[in-house]
Structure 1
Amino acid sequence: MTVVKRFVAGAVCPRCGQMDCIRMYRDDEREYRECVRCDFEDSQRLDGATDPEELQTRVNRAKPVLDPGERPIRFVSNPAGKDGKH
């Protein structure tokens, strides 16, 4: 299947603000738009459903707020050498 990309007349790129540089194409599930000047890319599902939200991980969650008087535990490496002597 060949992908046909078509320019959208009068469309303005949301990133660079240039007119007539957006082209659109679609596959079986999504419709895509891209800017030929600034490499902006965007897509949406054809059925109108929203994309699933990003899974919560330790990286994208906000840091927990500590109660007053609480302190985080800090681990310090063992200063002793391999033979156990200082």
Structure 2
Amino acid sequence: MAKKRFIAGAVCPECKKQDTLRWWQENDVEMVECVECHHTDRRVPQSVAESEQLSPQTKQQVIGIFKPE
């Protein structure tokens, strides 16, 4: 399980409370969650966000990227 860290001074975009957001990574996807209202946000890696092969709707649904080693 990923270690979750609070973001000091950050304000939740949903409930507007300060110091309630925590951040962690899952499969190279950045996750942010408010511990008060449970608002969540995720950001895909920049390489996926810049890909011209994916539609905007598909990019929002990307959870992770398989990287063979």
Partner of 1:58: none
Secondary structure at the residue paired with 2:57?
coil
Take 1:47 and 1:53, find their aligned partners in 2: how far apart are those partners?
A: 13
* Cα displacement (A) at 1:3: 1.2
What is the TM-score normalised by the length of structure 1? Answer: 0.55
Partner of 1:44: 43
Q: Which has the higher helix share?
A: 2
Partner of 1:12: 11
Partner of 1:63: none
Q: Which amino acid aligns with 2:5?
A: R
Q: Rate the CA distance shift 1:26–1:14 in 2: closer, same or farther, 3 A.
A: same
Take 2:47 and 2:17, find their aligned partners in 1: how far apart are those partners?
A: 27
* Cα displacement (A) at 1:54: 2.8
Partner of 1:28: 27
Identity of aligned residues (%): 33
* Cα displacement (A) at 1:48: 4.7
Give the aligned CA root-mean-square deviation in angstroms.
1.9
Q: Which of 53, 57, 64 is equivalent to 2:56?
A: 53
Q: Rate the CA distance shift 1:52–1:6 in 2: closer, same or farther, 3 A.
A: farther
Take 2:44 and 2:28, find their aligned partners in 1: how far apart are those partners?
A: 6
Structure with bigger gyration radius: 1
How many positions carry a matched residue from both structures? 54
Take 2:45 and 2:36, find their aligned partners in 1: how far apart are those partners?
A: 25
